[in-house]
Structure 1
């Protein structure tokens, strides 16, 4: 596989993408795959190992249980893309065949207020073709005997194209094929953006080069607001810490565990081989420093373990095998993506603010960005609902299903 370089081969590119994580890689691949695009593309990534990137710390799951039709359809395209990965990559036999491990997401409502939300969400999901089922506590217990359901009034689950997929492999092949098709990948950092009026002219690298660009894509994850600020633009995105643990149960469950969203906010899912992945955040959830990946020393004992042991008594006896902290790129405006051009600085393009559901939305978002760059409009799924202008006019998208 071609490796990232440290110096650009040219001083002018048709498209410069700041950020080489999942959104940058998706955009680059879809541009390289777009028959009507023949421009020169540069991806600039500060750490091409992605050691601390949100892409690396993801749960790597996909769900259709959203409360807006567009978010449901975005996930449906992800399922289609994952299942046809090799075909979409030209039948390249090096590309593995992937499937979604459809254990589903299990939302648990402990009160009628959230139960009503699940009912309303199911109506939207069904209209979009999702297979969501609402379950009474007795039905939950019959299907998954390991749960405690005495304090639950309703559950919601979809086991069709909802669960784990190998997002790392998708990301690897997006990058690999993009490079093979002529996209340049640079390990460097943008330290300045030159804007003249309503036009982005160039970016300046930490190594000193000034790179002219036709279109500039902000794919810099939790650092998206910092990138926008270099161009004199605002973006309501900040890093939020999310904690993860892999645990091994002394008594593994007798069937796959859905990604269970407990009323406490803690979630836990099947990981395989008697292991399970757990996720949570602190009750007080402030913005984090970009380089702060320290674990909270108390959250496991005070919040997480009590929650999962109550919901699944078999998890009274577990051992932590691994733990880490990642960052959500949290859109504090409405927890949804910001996508497409700035209304005034039209060659500054956003693909930011996914608030924890970025990897699962990356196929549709990268495709949409490539369509916009090539054609000046979305060609398949209309993503204009996520446009920046909603921030300017205070029109939030009310997505109720955020974990």
Structure 2
């Protein structure tokens, strides 16, 4: 999809830095709100989206989080995906989507981890999630292909947990936002200038030289979030962390769908369809990387990932890797949770950052929430204020215990 490189106007009510799924969710929610008649500019440095985190996601959804707010954010995402056409005004071009509910299965090999799953279960069930705890024997009966000698308990939910077509949702958010009047440009924000008061951003400068006046600025730049914040003189503890994915075919495919299985090691594997499976993981040493670094670690598969997968599912000892890629988490080093909303001192600079691997499934609720805040001054649906920037200033983490 081609975008022009030059904005049509010199001034916009809202400038969104980054047009992948977070920026596009916000743009769509803004432009479909009947109370908004302003101008929205979305600045996207890679209009092919080849290298954005959205393009490298494994496109799964879960409700198994340790915080009530994260559970409810994903519940809204599930409803949004399953009712995408209705949300978009009944447009017949918009496809009817569903969720492939093979579920997530967390495996605990220590009593402390088992107790964490039990505590998380209480949070999830209180929010209406369908999570269940399984004993080792119950796991073996339902999924006889696992090796479970070290496993004490498992946690699974097969209601609105599994694969969904994130690329289609992203495509329609972006398309409908543009049809509603949001302007997308293929360009890059390279600088920000404060207004004379010093308390707001007055303009952004594009890589092509244009200086664009703005009412509000939103940082939706994924793994580049800290760089964008730095242009405004702000610090943000979000960095690119490399995450690897492999697709493989099995000589002996499993006889039933494979839940997204989170091994106690952190390696995860799931059903991909047609006798193929998807594996995700990262190296034990997990440093920040350059946001342009997508180099594969080819030794990681043989030395670490495959042995774990084949040990957990012996039927996967004979497999063939079909494809592989590296992507990035926009990793919040404070607490692996989102940072959303205004800066407490630079009030027209807003964050939409730090989703630490669960951004795709959080994008519907996050875009909706920030649109509410920008247009109405408060949240009308989910209160996302626990994820505001002030907790960064106060070093007050809200730790999510169920990060993969």
TM range (shorter): over 0.9
Deviation at 1:37, TM superposition (A): 1.0
What residue number does 1:149 align with? 148
CA distance in 2, matches of 1:265, 1:306: 13
What residue number does 2:314 align with? 313
For the pair 1:52 / 2:51, whether they are aligned, the reply is yes
Normalising by structure 2, we get a TM-score of 0.99
What residue number does 1:102 align with? 101
What residue number does 1:41 align with? 40
Structure 2: segments with no counterpart, 5+ residues: none
What residue number does 1:380 align with? 381
Deviation at 1:15, TM superposition (A): 0.4
Q: Superposed, which structure 2 residues align to 1:236-255 within 5 Å? A: 236-255=237-256
Give CA deviations for 1:16-40 in whole Å, capped at 9, x if unaligned: 0000111001000000111111110
CA distance in 2, matches of 1:162, 1:284: 29
What residue number does 2:88 align with? 89
Give CA deviations for 1:149-207 in whole Å, capped at 9, x if unaligned: 11100100000000100000000000101111111000000110011311110100010
Q: Superposed, which structure 2 residues align to 1:276-295 within 5 Å? A: 276-295=277-296
What residue number does 2:178 align with? 179
Contact (CA 8 Å) 1:3, 1:185: kept in 2 or not?
no
Contact (CA 8 Å) 2:19, 2:42: kept in 1 or not?
yes
Query: Number of residue pairs matched?
Result: 402
Give CA deviations for 1:120-149 in whole Å, capped at 9, x if unaligned: 000000000001000011000000111111
Q: Superposed, which structure 2 residues align to 1:55-94 within 5 Å? A: 55-94=54-93
Deviation at 1:307, TM superposition (A): 0.5
Q: Superposed, which structure 2 residues align to 1:364-375 within 5 Å? A: 364-375=365-376
> Aligned with 1:399: secondary structure?
coil
Contact (CA 8 Å) 2:131, 2:155: kept in 1 or not?
yes
What residue number does 1:202 align with? 203
What residue number does 1:262 align with? 263
CA distance in 1, matches of 2:245, 2:167: 17
* CA-based RMSD: 0.7
Q: Superposed, which structure 2 residues align to 1:101-140 within 5 Å? A: 101-140=100-139
After the TM superposition, list the runs of 4 or more consecutive aligned residues in structure 1 that deviate by more than 6 angstroms: none
Contact (CA 8 Å) 1:111, 1:153: kept in 2 or not?
yes
Deviation at 1:393, TM superposition (A): 1.0
Q: Superposed, which structure 2 residues align to 1:316-395 within 5 Å? A: 316-395=317-396
Structure 1: segments with no counterpart, 5+ residues: none
CA distance in 1, matches of 2:40, 2:271: 39
CA distance in 1, matches of 2:207, 2:37: 28
> Aligned with 2:122: secondary structure?
helix
What residue number does 1:9 align with? 8
